Amino acid sequence: MPEWVILPPAEQVLYMTSRNPTPQTRDIFFVSDGTGITAETLGHAVLTQFEGLDLHEHRISFVDNPDKALDALARINESFHRQGRKPVVFSTLVNPSMNAILHSANAMILDLFDSFVVPLEKELGTKSSHTVGRSHNIVDSEDYKNRIEAINYALAHDDGQSAAELQRADVILIGVSRSGKTPTSLYLAMQYGIKAANYPLIPEDFERGALPQALAPFRKKLFGLSIAPERLAEVRFERRPNSRYASLDNCRFEVEEAERLMRRGSIRWLSTTTKSIEEIAVTVLQDFLADRAS
């Protein structure tokens, strides 16, 4: 049974509630003086804890002057007036004057810096720089150059394209076609600056009963990805429907042989069946490259 609710005069908005309501609609804003990637990552992690809501996401990036902050304020207030509910704002603004503008919004503001920087200042006994973060110098940093170099490395050493310079790899991922090697290599490069080559295990290797010859000198850098044959068949089917390549029998054979080679070579490996790229990448980091990463 719907009911009409009259909000206080200041807002001048009517909206409808119901005892058996349709999903609550809210606008979500990610506001940042940079790309907004931090605000979004943060916001998504928090919002996945809430189910059954009808959320509409909006990214407001590069809010680095008062005009842009006023634009953001106008968009947020407009949402409040349209929906009669406070929008939720994830903010990573650090500039105090831009922040003051944002905080005047009719919204629930979840502010990374209020929540974390202010308490940290106290704990560390030092003032924060209140700058826009490191993103403005990022292009010149060593970290950033390593990431770009690692992306180029991953592309040049994708799918066994080149055995040249495998000695420069931090890790060499091996596995059957479509076990997740390429996206994992790229993610390791892009996120962590790790040089990951990847090398396929193919029927010729299974016939010889040995890992590819080119990999012999790099046994210690090898990390295997495996996958449930049923899942592999699905993934391959999307690429080449009704092929021998995608048949369940062939997938079973290849996975079994690949796992046999990895066991025989004492190669660490994991099953990617239910894991996202991010999870595979972090597992490789944590279980395999931990010495380097810590």
The interface with a second copy within residues 87-146 (CB under 8 A) comprises 88, 92, 94, 108, 110, 112-113, 115-117, 119-120, 123-126, 128-131, 133-136, 138-139, 144
**CA 79 to CA 28: how far, in whole Å?**
9
Report, in Å, the least distance between residue 1 CB and a second copy. 18
Report, in Å, the least distance between residue 217 CB and a second copy. 26
Residues in 46-75 at the binding interface with a second copy, rule: CB under 8 A? 46, 48-53, 57-59, 61-62
DSSP 114: I
Report, in Å, the least distance between residue 79 CB and a second copy. 12
**CA 57 to CA 125: how far, in whole Å?**
37
Burial label for 232, CB within 10 Å (0-12, 13-18, 19+), is: buried
* Pairing relationship of beta strands 14-17 and 3-6 according to DSSP bridges: antiparallel
**CA 92 to CA 101: how far, in whole Å?**
13
Report, in Å, the least distance between residue 258 CB and a second copy. 20
**CA 54 to CA 25: how far, in whole Å?**
5
Q: Which residue number, 38 or 247, has a Cβ lying nearer to a second copy? A: 38
Report, in Å, the least distance between residue 219 CB and a second copy. 26
Residues in 237-276 at the binding interface with a second copy, rule: CB under 8 A? 273-276
Beta-bridge partners for 11: none
Residues in 194-233 at the binding interface with a second copy, rule: CB under 8 A? none
Report, in Å, the least distance between residue 207 CB and a second copy. 28
- Complete edge-to-edge strand list for the sheet that includes strand 269-271: 196-200, 171-175, 222-226, 269-271
Binding mask 146-185 for a second copy (x = CB under 8 A): -xx--xx--x--x-----------------------xx--
Q: Is 293 in the site for a second copy (CB under 8 A)?
A: yes
Select the span of 41-49, 208-216, 248-256, 258-266 touching a second copy (CB under 8 A). 41-49
| Three-state secondary structure of 46-72 | HHCCCCCCEEEEEEECCCCCHHHHHHH
